[in-house]
Amino acid sequence: MSSTRRQRIERVPGSRRAKLTPAPGTTPEPVPADEEEIPDTSAEASGISKGPNDERLKRDVPPHY
């Protein structure tokens, strides 16, 4: 293995932490898939019908609040 193709550890003056150089074959930009929003998985979004006590359960607050 060639030592020039590895990720290196660099000292940062005045800092307790070291910095890693970018790994070979990677870019600092995020992948477009990372920027997608997570779909809403609630009952309303999935089309599941509401039960008779759903609104009451959402309004109820435990006594210690």
Segment 27-44, tens digit of pLDDT: 777 766 655 666 655 655
Query: Which residue, 17, 18, 22, is CA-closest to 6?
Result: 22
With a cut of 90, say whether residue 13 has pLDDT above it.
yes
Determine phi and psi for 35, rounding to 5 degrees: -90, -5
pLDDT classification of 5: cutoffs 50, 70, 90: confident
**35: number of CA atoms within 13 Å, CB side?**
4
Rounded to whole angstroms, how far apart are CA atoms 19 and 23?
12
Please answer whether residues 7 and 20 qualify as being in contact, where contact means their C-beta atoms are separated by less than 8 angstroms.
yes
Question: pTM here?
Answer: 0.33
Kindly report the average pLDDT of the chain as a whole number. Answer: 75
Residues 6+ away with beta carbon under 8 Å from 45: 39
